[in-house]
Structure 1
Amino acid sequence: MTEPVDELIDDLIGDLPAIDHADRARRICDAADGTTLYTDLTDVRWLTGFNGSNGWAIARCDELIVGTDGRYGDKARAETAGTGATVIVEQQAAKLHQRLVETLGDQPIGLDASSVPHATWQRLAADVDLVDRPSPVKLARRTKDPAEVARIDAAARIADAALADVEANLCGMTELDVRAELEHSMIRLGADDRSYDTIVASGPDHGARPHHGASRRTIIEGDTVIIDVGALVDGYHSDMTRSWVMGEATAEQREIYALVVAAQQAGLDATHPGARASDIDAACREVFDDAGYLDWYIHGTGHGVGLDIHETPFHSPVSTDSILADYVVTVEPGLYRGGFGGFRIEDLLLVTTPNTPTDPGYRVLTHSPKRELN
């Protein structure tokens, strides 16, 4: 890095637009079918702005209520200011539960059963008339507004810059050293944190594990290397994977890498508003199947990204999801085999409405080069 770090941070993040939680709360409350309880903390954050490790939100036609414990009282009031939310704070968990029950009353309460542990549902159902209802917030979260896209875009730029700092010196470093350098660089460049445990998978064994993590193994000549890295900016994630061969690649490594590049391009070409997530997955699999390598492909092709690193939609053969404009999704095919290693290439896309016949229907948010093998 030659620029001062403060200038780099300004270039990468800039002035992020404010998130209008008041508008979100209005839209969700106006559309509420009776009373809905949100216990998923990511849903609570998206709806109200409150970001804590314990809390809930209640939305009904004319009211938004947030509950939390004493650790977060001031934080909850500050973060929900402007939404019109009433904030309930209790020191004891039993008392907070009692206040929740009292606030909900005896009418039917909508709660997405998939968002709560079974034990939590049972405990609430003993005191409240719960009705399993899909979360309107989870559905709304799939579509990203400009303020959300700005944060994801900034996170992607930070990860790009961090990888550019590190990739030239991979050979001779341990996987853990590479991970530490990447994560330290992202923080210096303005990220709040990493998006997830950065994956650095090298060599014939570790490289064959899509979610290997990182170890004290030293990266050496001849290794395949996979790095899966993302940054976190104001709660929003980025996600990207690139792959390399250290030194001169073998004919087999060139063949497998070229297949992954071709499969990823096929997945990108299949991504547009109205596409089925299963068709994006199928486009990648077809490339591998035609080449006789389908059994080397051992995971899905992508997923949504936002306040959670893995969100709906999910690109897989059994997915029933569709892709709409303003979704942010990954396309990330890969091939892996013990004794060989592996390759994965992943980009983060903002799905867009095409304006011309040649418009692909997406904008790529991750810009690290997909290196040609030596």
Structure 2
Amino acid sequence: MKTRLAKLRRLMAQREITYLMVTKPENRLYLSGFTGTAGILLIGPDTADFFTDFRYIEQVKQQSPHFRAVKVDQGSPFEAVAEVLRQYKSDKLFFEDEHLTVKQYHRLKEHLGQINPVPAGDLAEELRMVKDQQEIGIIRRAMEIGDRAFAHILNYIKPGVAERELACELEFFMRRQGASGAAFATIVASGPRSALPHGVAGDRRLQPGDFITMDFGAVYQGYHSDMTRTVVLGEPDEKQQEIYNIVLAAQLAGLAAVRPGVKAREVDEAARQVIERRGYGEYFGHGTGHGVGLAIHENPRLAAKDETVLQAGMVVTVEPGIYLPGWGGVRIEDSVLVTDEGCEVLTSSPKHELLKL
């Protein structure tokens, strides 16, 4: 944590940020190691304060030794932050404007009085884009749990089974493997519902000939995994095989484009061109991928307008798809680590052939 604080302070100094208030839970965990659910960080050039209530004060002392624990007895924690800032004789407070609500901002401003609140963007997430070795090790474990869950669920895919039953079994299995929970609402979309990119598992029961798209992940020690596989129940028809092959080719093209120095949008272009050339461009309406870590969706975004230059240590997904309303759809997703030479695929579940169950 000391290294992360040092990196943040260097970034703050470059941008002439004196005192930064951190309220986003993922950033709080990243900078302090605190796993609880309530607290505000105030980080200065040579100070680090953690404001929390009675429930967590001892936990802060144990998990965040590089911070001074400040107990907030009653009232708003913003009031306590303002009081400490006055002791530091600061006339500005920089804050994470992408996280505070309008109501919270006005409450903060009220307590600050003459201290000027200044939006700072999300500095911590900029640092979080590049993972350190400890983070990569934890993410690998999260991805392994997802791969084992996929191998496990294949035994449950049969006619008459409800999507919701598959989702429950996936989530329960991942917990038994050490996950603290699912990374997001598990997507199991079958038959015509597989045309819904975010078709969260429902009551529909599987039928012979269905495409079944499963998008799921595990949370392990705070970090997320993310993968998608599409399988078919029985023998695929010609169109199903065609669509699957196009998406697979697009996904492989996206993976081949991932390497240091490439812009995020260039990975999106590489995958999207494959689908567009086959005449299905209008049926691929989302970005090709996103960063993954302490949050399931982080920067960078592998999308048409993201100019972020990829760096070794970033973990991103590559997940093109084709979705045909009323018919069905296919998405194939892997999470990958950007390496010095290119990328390492962290999810190893089979995809090169359309699995027939």
Residue aligned with 1:27, SS = helix
Deviation digits for residues 218-245 of structure 1, max 9, x if unmatched?
A: 1111101100111111000000000011
Structure 2 stretches lacking a partner, 5+ long: none
Q: CA deviation at 1:367?
A: 0.5
Q: CA deviation at 1:136?
A: 2.6
Distance 2:210 2:122 in 1: 45
Deviation digits for residues 324-372 of structure 1, max 9, x if unmatched?
A: 1100000000011122111100000000001xxxxxx011100011152
Pairing partner for 1:198 from 167, 176, 186: 186
Match of 2:5 in 1: 25
Pairing partner for 1:178 from 166, 178, 190: 166
Match of 1:37 in 2: 21
Match of 1:252 in 2: 239
Residue aligned with 2:126, SS = helix
Pairing partner for 1:103 from 81, 84, 93: 84
One-letter code aligned to 2:187? I
Pairing partner for 1:307 from 283, 288, 294: 294
CA gap 1:93/1:221 in 2 versus in 1, 3 angstroms: farther
1:58-69 equivalence runs, <5 A: 58-69=42-53
1:238–1:309 CA contact under 8 A, matched in 2: yes
Q: CA deviation at 1:31?
A: 4.9
Distance 1:367 1:49 in 2: 30
Residue aligned with 2:287, SS = coil
Distance 1:108 1:272 in 2: 40
1:30–1:62 CA contact under 8 A, matched in 2: no
Pairing partner for 1:341 from 328, 331, 340: 328
One-letter code aligned to 1:152? I
Match of 2:152 in 1: 165
Match of 1:210 in 2: 197
Q: CA deviation at 1:22?
A: 2.5
One-letter code aligned to 1:197? A
One-letter code aligned to 2:344? R
User: Does 2:284 match 1:297?
Assistant: yes
Deviation digits for residues 92-116 of structure 1, max 9, x if unmatched?
A: 233x332111112242122231222
Match of 2:267 in 1: 280
Q: CA deviation at 1:208?
A: 0.8
Distance 2:158 2:283 in 1: 25
Residue aligned with 1:32, SS = helix
1:351-366 equivalence runs, <5 A: 351-354=338-341, 361-366=342-347
Q: CA deviation at 1:198?
A: 1.1
1:54–1:68 CA contact under 8 A, matched in 2: yes
The more displaced of 253-262 and 55-64 is: 55-64
Runs of 4+ in structure 1 deviating by more than 4 angstroms, as ranges, are none
Deviation digits for residues 303-328 of structure 1, max 9, x if unmatched?
A: 00010000000011122222111000
Distance 1:169 1:49 in 2: 38
Q: CA deviation at 1:197?
A: 1.2
Distance 2:11 2:258 in 1: 30
Residue aligned with 2:170, SS = helix
User: Does 2:75 match 1:88?
Assistant: no
2:79–2:108 CA contact under 8 A, matched in 1: no
Distance 1:153 1:225 in 2: 26
Match of 2:39 in 1: 55
Distance 1:313 1:37 in 2: 23
Q: CA deviation at 1:295?
A: 1.1
Distance 2:36 2:178 in 1: 21
Residue aligned with 1:281, SS = helix
**TM-score for the superposition, normalised by structure 2:** 0.93
Residue aligned with 2:151, SS = helix
CA gap 1:217/1:108 in 2 versus in 1, 3 angstroms: same
Deviation digits for residues 132-164 of structure 1, max 9, x if unmatched?
A: 223331111101001001111000001100110
Distance 1:233 1:133 in 2: 30
Structure 1 stretches lacking a partner, 5+ long: 1-20, 355-360
1:276–1:321 CA contact under 8 A, matched in 2: yes
Deviation digits for residues 71-110 of structure 1, max 9, x if unmatched?
A: 22222221102x2x1011223233x332111112242122
One-letter code aligned to 2:70? I
Match of 2:249 in 1: 262
CA gap 1:316/1:251 in 2 versus in 1, 3 angstroms: same
CA gap 1:93/1:199 in 2 versus in 1, 3 angstroms: farther
2:24–2:96 CA contact under 8 A, matched in 1: no
Residue aligned with 1:70, SS = coil
Residue aligned with 1:50, SS = coil
1:103-182 equivalence runs, <5 A: 103-105=84-86, 106-126=90-110, 127=112, 128-172=115-159, 173-182=161-170
Over the matched positions of the two proteins, sequence identity in percent amounts to 37
State the aligned residue count.
344
Residue aligned with 2:330, SS = strand
Match of 2:220 in 1: 233
1:192–1:233 CA contact under 8 A, matched in 2: yes
Distance 1:287 1:30 in 2: 42
One-letter code aligned to 2:8? I
Distance 1:134 1:272 in 2: 27
1:30–1:60 CA contact under 8 A, matched in 2: no
1:41–1:51 CA contact under 8 A, matched in 2: no
1:244–1:371 CA contact under 8 A, matched in 2: no
CA gap 1:38/1:325 in 2 versus in 1, 3 angstroms: same
Deviation digits for residues 253-305 of structure 1, max 9, x if unmatched?
A: 01000000000011111111111111111111111111100111121110000
